């Protein structure tokens, strides 16, 4: 046993083992998050709507997500006649894979960075934008009129919202001077006023930047009030109308995975990632304590943001489609541009 | 039968209309936004509606014909199943027409009870319409709040007549049971409770920017269109026409109470929304006044004969239901059963507006507009 460990501990094997461990970990993390965020969502919705929510399966309905997953898995994956079989089957895979790839680039803690890529931020966005294409393929290949209307909406919505989102990201990159996510987090260590959200001397409008980013994130992940892809009261189930069983379940999981990615990114870019914000007080603590505290801080911020996403969904009605495009082109993009200009000006002058 | 890919492609190419680039979208009869088995055949140009053709009759139940081969008393429960959300006003119309034809006196107390229950029913009906509409717009939470408030009304109704939806509480010459202190006190407590809730709904929903953007200026119905199609109820009053059966053709004892008919001149969906919200407030005012002045006395006229024969003649009677003017026409030849029963329901008239007003609209706007008509499908098909 010890010989095996020693053998695997050598380079280049160790890199592969590390990668395999992280991939397994990421898969488990995504699966668990998708399953239990559904539970959190249902419980939050129930709380907002003054009803108990799932209560039957397990205490407080805690085993409900597993029961749901088993139900979805036991269902036949229906492929209706007339659909484009290959694209129809491949679309759920295409939506889930990039979402999981994003998790590989995210820094969860100082000792928990699955892949420390120098262009991590860029890689993340490259993966995240495939999501739209997968939705469009799924909708298009199912040859359903509701789905096709939804596909057309999704494409224009995502194009409209990538622009202000990327402009905001560029602002943050200018402030941090790096595209490496670990470095961006590292720059925000120490006291909490080092977090980007409090870096008002670099970017006085950073709060607006965060708001822009958050709204774009909601739109990118097709969450209410921008859930044009699904808009169940207009388009039945939008892009997923023809999907049944686990192929529908995968779309559902991908939605939650994308929310986790979006909120993690907001945490990393604006709220100091794994930094607890009281760094100097922990200076004398052993390294593992610091790592654990950092991990807890990361997840606390992440889930607070995710909770807000859920909270928004159960509070607001859906926007109208042109309202959504107007918001992006007439408000968010100008705001993001002004912020970018101001930040680069201040960075040059100061 | 499985289609080959080519057949399926040819079929979908045909269905999108080939060179004309329009396609037909079947909205319903099973669709989440139609709230029932209404089918609307949409000819779409992209997401714009060129023509919306409502297809009625999926739950046609021959209520008028049933009225013609039953006695008046036997037909009474049918009327509460037309618009199941306005059962009180509908049974009121049927009782009213029989009382008018047979010249039956209704005791004072019974009239008060009718006004109180009808207005509570109107509040419940508007709450459902409001919640379901906001749900169509993508906001899920309000409907649960609305149902919570409606539950209080339904509990009161259940206490006096046993039913929770299709009330059959009115009888020729009165009501079936007297109301007791439990009901009266419950209604008295409900009025301030509901006012408090309305303030919350105003802050949470009516003033919500997304909701306002969705329905302001959407679905303009001109007063001229209202006249041509015979629109009624909140749809008519949202188009600036001050017409309410309770004022225009006073029935029961509505002329004794002090209340306003809310009228908005914007003609859009928001105007219809505000009319309904204001009507809840006005109904609360009527309930409050009626509760304060309800007299003691008999709750039903004891002299109503067991077997009613409507004297030969042609009678009409209208009530203001939650969705508008509900009118019954009864033609009798003097036999046990009416010769002809005509039920003029508000939802059919309001739906017929949809084809003209939705042309050129985007699909989500059209559905928001349809929600503003507050359709109850069994009321359309009868």
Q: Is A52 on the interface with B (CB under 8 A)?
A: no
Q: Is B5 on the interface with A (CB under 8 A)?
A: yes
pLDDT by residue (tens digit) across B61-118? 888 899 888 888 889 888 888 888 889 999 999 999 998 888 888 888 898 999 999 9
Is the pLDDT reported for residue B210 higher than 90?
no
Contact B138 A224 (CB under 8 A): yes
Residue in B364, B365, B370, B371 to test binding to A, most A beta-carbons within 10 Å? B364
Tokens of B128: 């459902």
**Cα B154 to Cα B186: distance, rounded to the nearest angstrom:** 11
Q: Which chain B residues are Cβ-neighbours of A317 within 8 angstroms? A: 134, 137-139, 208, 210-211, 214
Closest alpha carbon to B183 in B224, B146, B154: B154
Query: Following CA atoms B187, B193, B197, B199 in sequence, which dihedral angle do they give, to the nearest 10 degrees?
Result: 110
Is the pLDDT reported for residue A272 higher than 60?
yes
Q: Is A15 on the interface with B (CB under 8 A)?
A: no
Is the pLDDT reported for residue B123 higher than 90?
yes
Predicted confidence at residue A124, as pLDDT, reads: 86
Contact A227 B5 (CB under 8 A): no
- Of the candidates A51, A233, A317, the beta carbon closest to that of B208 is on A317
Q: Is A145 on the interface with B (CB under 8 A)?
A: yes
Q: Is A263 on the interface with B (CB under 8 A)?
A: no
Q: What is the DSSP letter of A58?
A: S
- Percent of chain B whose predicted confidence (pLDDT) is above 90: 20
**Cα A333 to Cα B291: distance, rounded to the nearest angstrom:** 58
Residue B302: count of CB within 10 angstroms of its CB: 8
Contact A234 B363 (CB under 8 A): yes
Residue in A315, A320, A326 to test binding to B, most B beta-carbons within 10 Å? A320
Residue of A nearest to B216 (CA): A320
Contact B8 A227 (CB under 8 A): no
Closest alpha carbon to B364 in B29, B43, B49: B49
Q: What are residue B44's DSSP bridge partners? A: B23, B49
Predicted confidence at residue A189, as pLDDT, reads: 76
Tokens of B31: 């669709």
B317 by Cβ neighbours in 10 Å (0-12 / 13-18 / 19+) ranks as buried
**Cα B110 to Cα B172: distance, rounded to the nearest angstrom:** 11
Q: Could you give the strand order of the β-sheet that contains B340-344, starting from the edge strand earlier in sequence?
A: B313-321, B324-332, B340-344
Predicted confidence at residue B91, as pLDDT, reads: 92
Q: Which residues contact A271 (CB under 8 A, 6 or more apart)?
A: A195, A196, A197, A301
**Cα A114 to Cα A110: distance, rounded to the nearest angstrom:** 11
Lowest-confidence region among A224-238, B143-157, B342-356, B360-374: A224-238
Q: Is B248 on the interface with A (CB under 8 A)?
A: no
Residue B200: count of CB within 10 angstroms of its CB: 10
Is the pLDDT reported for residue A17 higher than 70?
yes
Phi-psi region of A223 (alpha: psi -120 to 50; beta: other; left: phi over 0): beta
Provide the pLDDT confidence category of residue B13 given band limits of 50, 70 and 90.
Answer: low
Is the CA virtual torsion B65, B69, B73, B78 positive or negative? negative
Contact A233 B134 (CB under 8 A): no
Is the pLDDT reported for residue A237 higher than 80?
no
- Of the candidates B12, B138, B213, the beta carbon closest to that of A233 is on B138
Q: Is B240 on the interface with A (CB under 8 A)?
A: no
The vertex-A80 CA angle with A77 and A86, nearest 5°, equals 75
Q: Which chain A residues are Cβ-neighbours of B31 within 8 angstroms? A: 236
Contact B148 A50 (CB under 8 A): yes
A residues 181-240 near B, CB within 8 Å?
Answer: 224-225, 227, 231-234, 236
Contact between A143 and A124 under an 8 Å Cβ cutoff? The reply is no
């Amino acid at each position: 046993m010890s010989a095996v460990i020693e053998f695997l501990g050598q380079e280049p094997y160790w890199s592969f083992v590390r990668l395999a461990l992280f991939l397994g970990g990421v898969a488990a993390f995504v699966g668990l998050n998708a399953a239990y965020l559904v539970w959190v969502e249902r419980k939050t919705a129930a709380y907002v709507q003054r009803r108990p929510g799932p209560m039957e399966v397990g205490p407080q309905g805690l085993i409900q997500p597993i029961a749901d997953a088993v139900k979805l898995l036991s269902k036949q994956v229906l492929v209706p006649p007339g659909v484009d079989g290959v694209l129809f089957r491949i679309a759920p895979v295409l939506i889930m894979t990039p979402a999981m790839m994003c998790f590989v680039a995210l820094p969860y803690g100082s000792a928990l960075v699955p892949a420390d890529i120098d262009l991590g931020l860029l890689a993340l966005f490259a993966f995240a934008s495939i999501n739209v294409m997968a939705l469009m393929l799924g909708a298009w290949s199912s040859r359903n009129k509701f789905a096709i209307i939804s596909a057309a909406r999704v494409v224009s919505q995502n194009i409209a919202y990538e622009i202000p989102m990327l402009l905001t990201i560029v602002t943050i990159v200018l402030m941090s001077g790096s595209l490496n996510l670990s470095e961006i987090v590292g720059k925000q260590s120490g006291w909490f006023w080092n977090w980007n959200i409090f870096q008002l001397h670099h970017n006085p409008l950073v709060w607006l930047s965060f708001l822009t980013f958050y709204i774009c994130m909601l739109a990118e992940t097709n969450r209410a009030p921008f859930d044009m892809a699904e808009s169940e009261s207009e388009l039945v189930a939008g892009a997923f109308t023809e999907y049944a069983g686990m192929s529908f379940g995968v779309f559902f999981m991908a939605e939650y995975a994308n929310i986790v990615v979006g909120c993690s990114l907001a945490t990393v870019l604006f709220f100091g990632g794994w930094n607890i914000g009281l760094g100097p007080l922990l200076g004398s603590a052993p390294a593992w304590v610091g790592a654990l505290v950092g991990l807890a801080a990361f997840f606390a911020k992440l889930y607070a943001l995710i909770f807000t996403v859920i909270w928004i969904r159960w509070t607001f009605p859906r926007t109208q489609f042109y309202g959504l495009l107007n918001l992006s082109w007439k408000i968010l993009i100008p705001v993001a541009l002004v912020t970018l200009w101001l930040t680069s000006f201040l960075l040059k002058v100061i | 039968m499985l289609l080959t890919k080519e057949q399926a492609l040819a079929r979908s190419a045909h269905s999108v209309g080939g060179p004309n680039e329009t396609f037909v979208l079947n909205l319903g009869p099973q669709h989440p936004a139609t709230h029932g088995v209404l089918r609307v055949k949409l000819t779409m140009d992209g997401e714009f509606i060129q023509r919306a053709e409502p297809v009625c009759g999926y739950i046609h139940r021959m209520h008028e014909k049933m009225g013609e081969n039953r006695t008046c008393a036997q037909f009474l429960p049918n009327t509460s199943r037309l618009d199941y959300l306005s059962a009180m006003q509908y049974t009121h119309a049927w009782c009213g027409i029989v009382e008018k034809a047979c010249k039956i006196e209704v005791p004072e107390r019974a009239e008060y009870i009718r006004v109180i229950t009808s207005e509570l029913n109107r509040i419940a009906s508007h709450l459902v319409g409001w919640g379901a509409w906001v749900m169509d717009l993508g906001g899920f939470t309000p409907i649960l709040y609305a149902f919570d408030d409606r539950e209080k009304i339904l509990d009161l109704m259940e206490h006096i007549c046993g039913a929770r939806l299709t009330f059959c509480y009115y009888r020729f010459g009165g009501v079936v049971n007297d109301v007791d202190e439990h009901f009266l006190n419950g209604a008295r407590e409900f009025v301030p409770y509901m006012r408090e809730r309305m303030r919350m709904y105003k802050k949470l929903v009516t003033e919500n920017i997304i909701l306002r953007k969705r329905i302001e200026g959407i679905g303009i119905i001109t007063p001229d269109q209202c006249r041509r199609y015979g629109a009624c109820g909140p749809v008519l009053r949202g188009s600036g026409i001050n017409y309410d059966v309770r004022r225009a053709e006073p029935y029961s004892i509505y002329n004794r109470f002090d209340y306003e008919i809310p009228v908005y001149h914007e003609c859009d969906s928001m105007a219809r929304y505000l009319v309904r919200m204001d009507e809840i407030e006005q109904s609360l005012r009527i309930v409050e006044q009626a509760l304060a002045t309800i007299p003691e006395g008999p709750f039903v006229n004891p002299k109503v004969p067991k077997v009613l024969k409507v004297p030969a003649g042609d009678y009409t009677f209208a009530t203001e239901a939650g969705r508008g003017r509900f009118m019954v026409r009864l033609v009798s030849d003097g036999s046990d059963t009416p010769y002809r029963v005509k039920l003029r329901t508000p939802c059919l008239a309001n739906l017929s507006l949809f084809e003209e007003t939705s042309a050129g609209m985007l699909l989500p706007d059209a559905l928001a507009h349809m929600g503003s008509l507050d359709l109850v499908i069994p009321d359309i098909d009868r």
